[in-house]
Amino acid sequence: MQSLKISEIVINWYKKNFRILPWRPKNIDQKIDPYIVFLSEFMLQQTTVKTVVPYFINFLKKYPTIEILAKAKLDDVLAIWSGLGYYRRANNLYKSTKIITNELNGVIPNNYEDLIKLPGIGDYTAAAICAIAFDKKVVVIDGNIERVVSRLFELDLRGNDLKKKVRKILSLNIPAKENSLFTQGLMDIGATICKPKIINCERCPLSENCRVAFKNSAINYPLKIIKEKKIKRTGNFYCLINSKKEILFLRNINLGLFENMHVLPSDGWLKDNHNLDFNIFSIKERFDCGVIKHSFTHFDLDSKVILLKVDDNQIKLKDNCIFIKLENLDMFSIPTLYHKIVKLVLKNI
């Protein structure tokens, strides 16, 4: 197989068949805005395109430039991100835009070495921004690309061994120009044709070059990695409600999971518990609302939810505490987990 044949096929196919996505130019020849790629790649980390699209559209409307985003309040950024998950991305996106605006004259770096120094940018994100936004000759490997290449060359490898082999193959096939189109083309082939459980070889531009094309064995690639079973954590969440039907939230300032977001008091499930001194409250009633289940990347959560009706007269709250009205919850940076908890609690009021 000639070294550039794959790239030529993919690029030609992509120019005619590229997916319309809100972070892509509508015209293949239109100039790409690096900020739009930068933002989309943060949002797409560990999240599907379908999930990201509405959040991206809303986010870009509010923060159309990196300068506007850098000047925004972190609370507002986290609030509009709420529901998308993996909230550390939002904190890192905000930190990175601050650095770019204040230290780099508002110019997003166009090279891997400088990009990877920014908060929240790892190997994949740095490579994707370089290739897509700046057309740099950099290898990009996401799940779609890895699947396409593993089938194309029938690679009987797993994990890091597979990734190393895919990287080597792609490095030999990167085009001298239009690597942005090549990278996105491979992504689109994987997303629309060479899917994990559905293979449409008759539609694939690479089928003549593929070693498993039209074979039942194609679906077995890439070879599966045996995943470790997630651990289960347990604990308690406390929902304090006052006479005005306001719920007490804590601002989780610079603490790991849900950094800088508004959370309910809890204990038992995190190293950094979201603790609260209950002695300052006069608790009138207590209800056990049941159990909340929630899945994180590395563990599953199975915890009790406890409703505490409190008398809030003359209570002096700490700076990180705030009572929020039910109708105003969407105005604050509250993770999906806590919206689920509040929904459970409201059934018991």
The set of residues, in sequence order, having a beta carbon less than 8 Å from that of 193 and lying 6+ positions away, is 199, 200, 203, 204
> Catalytic: which of 8, 41, 259, 285?
41
The set of residues, in sequence order, having a beta carbon less than 8 Å from that of 287 and lying 6+ positions away, is 306, 307, 309, 348
Q: What is the CA radius of gyration of the chain?
A: 24
Residue type present at position 55 = Y
Residue 56 has what DSSP assignment? H
The encoded tokens of residue 81 equal 């991100």
Q: Is position 113 annotated as part of the catalytic site?
A: no
Tally of CB atoms within 10 A around 134: 18
CA dihedral 185, 187, 191, 194 (to 10 degrees): 80
| Spatial CA neighbour of 289 closest among 233, 229, 221, 239 | 239
Q: Are the C-beta atoms of 124 and 142 separated by less than 8 Å?
A: yes
Residues taking part in catalysis: 41
